Amino acid sequence: MKTVKLNNKAFTLVEVLIAITILTIGMLGALEGLLLYTQYNINNLCRDESVKIAEQKINELRNTSYSSLTSGTTTVRRKIKNFERDFNVEWSVAAISSNSSSVEVNVKWTIMNKEWSHAVRTIINRG
């Protein structure tokens, strides 16, 4: 009588399904991490751009004659990572004394329905 040897070196269907399930869960976790990384990266790029916008506005106000300083708002559109992004710029001028005014520039932007802002303050003297 001949005996037949069984080959037990292969994976069973259950083992393959469990391995696929574990790999799928791991890939979903990695994808979630990539999504968070992308959101933080875009937010940091927007924050950097808002700092540049605020600095430009402060310099523009510093170069304006003292008697012409007024509060106001505007919208600035910038391209960040192939996307157009709107930044709302508000500035307010408040007299501290007869020779100096406090100027505040606030830049706001929205990412995924959450509003972010960056504010800069300075004092401008009558020169």
92 to each of 11, 58, 96, 99, how far by Cα in Å? Answer: 71, 11, 13, 17
- Identity of residue 81: K
Residues 6 or more apart whose Cβ sits within 8 Å of residue 55: 120
Q: Which helix (H) or strand (E) holds 60?
A: helix 13-62
Q: Residue 84 contacts by C-beta under 8 Å, 6 or more apart in sequence?
A: 77, 78
> What's the whole-model pTM score?
0.76
**What's the confidence (pLDDT) of residue 81?**
84
Q: Which fold has domain 13-125?
A: Pantoate--beta-alanine Ligase; Chain: A,domain 2 (3.30.1300)
pLDDT for res 9: 75
Return the SS3 of 5: coil
pLDDT by position in tens, the chain (length 127) = 677 666 667 778 898 999 999 999 999 999 999 999 988 999 999 999 999 999 999 999 999 998 899 999 999 999 988 889 999 999 999 999 989 999 999 999 998 899 999 999 999 998 6
Q: Which two tokens stand for residue 31?
A: 């994808």
Break the chain into its structural domains and give their ranges: 13-125
DSSP codes joined into one string, 21-36: HHHHHHHHHHHHHHHH
The residue type found at 124 is I
Structure tokens at 83: 């996307």
> Tokens 């700092």 label which residue?
51
What is the predicted pLDDT for the residue at 27? 95
